[in-house]
Chains A and B, each alone.
Chain A
């Protein structure tokens, strides 16, 4: 079936099998491979993208009826919270293998867009859907807090 999507600010028409989740449309059809497959059942968060600015698990999301939505993947992340998160991630050397980090960053950017100064328990609650098998959690926790600080500095 022909899908009409707005991905990273671009209007796209793409042919995909009916029922193919957004994740596989992004990865296999649009070659936007920054969004990762980790479990396919919305249990690890590696596939997190933004739909109208809100983090969603693309592995269980139907791409139908998204014609009017703005889909943002890691490749198109350019919001202020997104850039602050990326800067903090680099400052804190968060990544190890890196495979989950696109999803972690998309989740963290979504959190900060909604809540610019989360406390530790809000960070943990929001980020608990994103698995990191390298267990970079301690750095994720501090990098999200650092990103909030960067946003605060920028707005002063």
Chain B
């Protein structure tokens, strides 16, 4: 999923509608071309109105990760203006123009790619706009453009000064520089500035930020769906007579696929009440009807059986087993990591509004192209008759992006069934969210490690079982090879540790329970296991956990050096070499994910009743150049909190196929009193920026587990609170 932007070809366009506006973008064809009349070949990232107002068009949605600050920072830096001088607009849906450069021709956000794929694209757009404005001023004043400067919205030099607005009209007729002069990193004022204010502070602090849940269109209907309480259940019969008494109730219609009933009302409360009032009988013949004890037993049986697929051959299954059987010492553990729900703060929702020739979708839209295609398919509309209005998203953690465009498809079906004359807002309640699937699959791991008489590792046998994400989807070809879904084994099969003789086997687990990527995807379970077992092996060999890890990062590759670098930094900043205060213990973990290296030390205390409190987390991160260091820190803080919260307390469990957890009281989220200070140290780097939304999560859980294991149990079954660990 990587591609590198090497061409810096630019084009310029000024549509008839904004004849005096300067619009600079990157041509998908890589050629210089003017694009009058809004020709689709233009990618407008920077718009400057005739009034001099600069707008940055942000191609990635904002779920809190900071794109509406990061991308404008890149443009403002190169253009030579202050960050608060630029307006921010979300891009419309147009994959030809706004594709994620790491996703092929697909417009969307995910995999911690937003800033990384935009880094050169948005810098170039800002630099090109600057050059064109300076050239226009030079022409007007009949001076050499190199004598002019652009800052604070003014062009000055040659003894004169004027606002950029005066030159927008002329600049928009000029040829766009093919390779605009980029600033040297040592002259950056905004990139790398630790004091940058988020651009979305003001609307989110005053309550004016519009989220998808806040869309209120005249005459809109609210639709909620009564879904089968068990995955795969079908409607056998529907009786909505009781709902007629609910104020605002409009209608209840069985979905064409038979997998639920859509309930319409004039407002949200009416829809929720009416849904309670309708009676549905379900056919569970094809449903997942197992309870958690049966599901868990089946999963653990799968991981203990010979693997279906080989993710990493190493010495081979038999030879690896033989090496471990004959080893002087073995370390062995079986892990169970539960089903998890994303539970973003804003439950899923979107609104479909009829337009003259099609529809407009209002959504905190993560997979823009996927949503666009889904609407076209369900509503049988040409792509060009569909618009997408992207609004703020109240978190995602992977949930708003699904390969099936699940909630967008539901909304489209609800809109189609309603007669297409009124806007339809589809709303998921929190209960819908927790029982609605698209979970992080439960995973089981079985690991055996052999050490020689000197405590050196000689072989590592690693078996994994869980439900794959990509198998059976459109992405199968890209992410599944020889039966191995890469997302099930990432972080193990490609570990950076120099492990002699590592075999990795995979067995798929089948269930009608739906799964999806969850913050940090496979790393959400593989890092827990890898870093727990590394600690167990260090203990068996009598080595310090940090030194042991460094022993296995000593082969000299850049990857290993960078992971070792964050490990050393986290150790240093946490005071690893000094013993912790009495009653306290520390655990360490390090992991690379999404091209970023993170190491963490968790320090815990235990009170008289043996309750664990997380006192402090120290993190070192190497994500290349940090464009907005404070946002990098915030993402790491959030990733740690999200990771640790789930490891502490969360699991989705089943009784006869029905999800037991219904709302926050029984899927208890991390709260403010659960976690102490988080200290983030960013490695100073000139490397290209890499991901930051996800990499903070993977080391957090195992670092906590390793801290607990110093004076307590080795937790191999999650969540901790349900498996013997008491938290203060």
Contacts and interface: CB of A to CB of B under 8 A. Distances in A.
B336 to A, nearest CB: 24
Contacts of B397: 133
Contacts of B270: 17
B210 interface: yes
B345 A75 contact: no
Nearest to A129: B671
A101 B205 contact: yes
B395 interface: yes
A95 B201 contact: yes
Contact of B663 (A20, A43, A74): A43
B630 A101 contact: no
B347 A135 contact: no
A28 B213 contact: no
A125 B672 CA distance: 8
A139 interface: yes
A122 B210 CA distance: 32
Nearest to B640: A135
B673 A29 contact: no
Interface in B654-702: 663-665, 669-675, 677-678
B206 interface: yes
Given A24-B268, A38-B430, A75-B206, A97 B64 contact: yes
Contacts of B211: 33, 36, 98-99
Contacts of A125: 673
Contacts of B206: 34, 74-75, 86
A96 B68 CA distance: 11
A88 B246 CA distance: 44
B268 A27 contact: yes
Contacts of B344: 97, 99, 133
A41 B664 CA distance: 8
A44 B669 CA distance: 9
Interface string B566-608: 0000000000000000000000000000000000000000000
Given A99-B394, A133-B343, A135-B637, A43 B205 contact: no
A8 B430 CA distance: 28
A148 interface: no
A150 B557 CA distance: 50
A137 B638 CA distance: 9
Given A97-B394, A134-B395, A135-B642, A17 B248 contact: yes
Interface in A90-146: 90, 93, 95-102, 105, 123-125, 127-128, 130-141
A115 to B, nearest CB: 16
A58 interface: no
Contact of A95 (B200, B248, B641): B200
B269 A89 contact: no
B197 interface: yes
B392 interface: yes
A13 B603 CA distance: 55
Query: Most chain-A CB neighbours within 10 Å: which of B203, B204, B248, B430?
Result: B204
B346 interface: yes
Contact of A28 (B268, B392, B635, B673): B268
Nearest to B393: A97
B728 to A, nearest CB: 12
A133 B347 contact: no
Interface in A23-49: 24, 27-29, 31, 33-41, 43-44, 46
Contacts of B213: 33, 36-37, 99
Contacts of A33: 207, 210-211, 213-214, 216
A124 B673 contact: yes
Given A24-B268, A34-B208, A124-B673, A135 B638 contact: yes
A21 interface: yes
A44 B344 CA distance: 12
B635 to A, nearest CB: 8
Contact of A132 (B268, B345, B678): B345
Nearest to A90: B201
B634 interface: yes
The DSSP consensus for interface residues of chain A is loop
A105 B206 CA distance: 9
A73 to B, nearest CB: 7
A25 to B, nearest CB: 9
B198 interface: yes
B669 A93 contact: no
Nearest to B344: A133
A139 B634 CA distance: 9
Contacts of B641: 134-135, 137
A101 B678 CA distance: 20
B345 A134 contact: yes
B21 to A, nearest CB: 30
Contacts of A34: 206-208
Contacts of B272: 40
A95 B268 CA distance: 27
A41 B216 contact: no
Nearest to B247: A17
Given A43-B665, A95-B64, A99-B345, A139 B637 contact: yes
B607 to A, nearest CB: 15
Interface in B435-451: none
Given A97-B345, A131-B669, 20 more contacts: A17-B247, A20-B267, A20-B269, A21-B269, A28-B222, A28-B268, A33-B214, A34-B206, A36-B211, A39-B664, A43-B663, A90-B202, A95-B200, A96-B65, A97-B62, A98-B64, A99-B395, A127-B672, A133-B669, A141-B672
29 contacts: A17-B247, A33-B216, A34-B206, A34-B208, A36-B345, A36-B394, A37-B347, A38-B345, A43-B665, A44-B430, A46-B345, A75-B207, A77-B207, A86-B205, A89-B201, A96-B638, A97-B395, A97-B396, A98-B64, A98-B203, A101-B204, A125-B673, A127-B672, A133-B395, A133-B669, A134-B345, A134-B395, A135-B640, A137-B674
Interface of B: 62-66, 197-198, 200-211, 213-214, 216, 222, 246-248, 267-270, 272-273, 343-347, 392-397, 429-430, 630-631, 634-635, 637-638, 640-642, 645, 663-665, 669-675, 677-678
